[in-house]
Structure 1
Amino acid sequence: MNTDTLFSKPISKQFEFDADVAAVFDDMLVRSVPFYKESQALTRRFAANALSEGGIVYDLGCSTASMLLEIERSLPKNGTVRLVGIDNSAAMIEHARKKTEAFGSRIELVEGDILTYPYEKARVVISNYTLQFIRPMQREGLLRTIADALEEGGVFLFSEKVVSDDPRLNKELIDCYYDFKKTQGYSEYEIMQKREALENVLIPYTMNENVSMAKNSGFKTCDVLFRWANFATFIAIR
């Protein structure tokens, strides 16, 4: 796993999931997302529960396919679950293919647009820190598409960076997060550089906005499985 040092030098463009990011993405996730492994373990558990009788699981913005590989390892090897990862980054899909081939995985990988993909009926849809990169005007439409694609009782598991309605609390949450990143070896300069690169690219919602959006899009319920400061993992049930 390559070490993330992308923002140790001056940035020249906004953040994008290009070859440079793909090469260090696994390290970036673990060091940039608090309790990443724990939240992913919860996602894996609830996904496996919903897939007990088989079905399709889609990972939207699958990046290097780590989540799908974890789910695949937790399931019986009877072939009743179809695992599909979709990402619009060719570099991410290339890294995902190398990983899945190395593990002899049967995961299907698609370079495509999650907004227009022709989904089949699924039991599980996963979106890890992906919705926040979708333009707000398109976000609720995507959730309606996801809800329509899920079978009755199917689940949508998604993790997002969140903000607070209270400006003072929001600043404290951000400070808390930056302190976490420093403990992971990132310098103040790297933190500042990444923040600037993500400006107007990553647009987070509040906890309530995420829950309301899910319920307005056709989900019977939406609840929080995990939260640490300004990071949260949700489950929405069709």
Structure 2
Amino acid sequence: MSTFEDPDAVARYLEGPVARVPGLAALHRMTELLLAEAVPDDGHVLVLGAGGGLELKAFATARPSWRLLGVDPSAPMLRLAERTMGALSPRATLVEGTIDAAPAGPFDGATCLLTLHFLSPEQRLSTLRALWRRLRPGAPLVVAHHSFDSGEPEATRWLRRYAAFASPTGRVEPGDEASIAAIRERLPVIAPDDEVRLLAQAGFDRIELFYAGFTFRGWVALRP
């Protein structure tokens, strides 16, 4: 069973990003501001990987006129998104599936936060191209996820820093070593330079780094 289908894991999910992603609330705020540079007051925004609902809630709170569409392959995670949004949940239309399940658009902006690091480079490129096709010209895409060089000893050093940040003690505990190994083995993480190349290959330009927090990086890019 996938972590995102496990009821217990889903119930605990919201604890994870807040504890493990440096400056998560600020990341959501920066993402909203970057979108707002091009998304009109009544704009339509596509949120890929919307399960959990944290960014949907942030966007709906800050921009009450935006129309939001959230896409996620996990039905339990979408139900969690509804609970997270609470009274704001009518502001978002939720779709179960991958990017291929999303309407054709065109959307005024899109986000994909803490999601692309689960995909192989080939799947990532396909997803980025599908996002590009659903955006109007001039629309922004904001992405953020694990991205670091895979060479040693650099990769292990940065993963240990990430683990220390996520630890309540601020230290890498014995049990954290398994989590570090799991990231190395299970996530097809690629280097920042390769991330930029994939965005460009998918058709995006004006690609700018706006966020860096230990092993995480975030970029904003435009569809020409």
Q: TM-score normalized by structure 2?
A: 0.88
- Residue 167 of structure 1 aligns with which residue? 152
CA distance in 2, matches of 1:72, 1:50: 17
- Residue 10 of structure 2 aligns with which residue? 22
Asked which structure has the greater RCO (Cα within 8 Å, sep 6+), the reply is 1
Which of the numbers 95, 100, 113 marks the counterpart of 1:110? 95
The DSSP-based 3-state class of the residue aligned with 1:175 is helix
1:84-135, Cα deviation, whole Å (9 max, x unpaired):
1111111101111223344454111111122453331011111111111123
What aligned pairs does 1:14-163 form with structure 2 within 5 A after superposition?
Answer: 16-18=3-5, 19-75=7-63, 77=64, 79=65, 81-103=66-88, 105-163=90-148
Which structure 2 segments of 5+ residues have no match? none
8 Å CA contact 2:199, 2:207 repeated in 1: yes
CA distance in 2, matches of 1:108, 1:173: 37
8 Å CA contact 1:48, 1:71 repeated in 2: no
Deviation at 1:170, TM superposition (A): 2.1
Which structure 1 segments of 5+ residues have no match? 1-12
Q: TM-score normalized by structure 1?
A: 0.84
Give the partner amino acid of 2:217: A
Worse overlay, 189-198 or 44-53: 189-198
Deviation at 1:150, TM superposition (A): 0.9
> Pairwise CA RMSD of aligned residues?
2.3
- Residue 213 of structure 1 aligns with which residue? 198
Aligned length: 222
Q: 1:67 to 1:186 in 2, by over 3 A?
A: farther
CA distance in 2, matches of 1:150, 1:184: 43
CA distance in 1, matches of 2:116, 2:172: 27
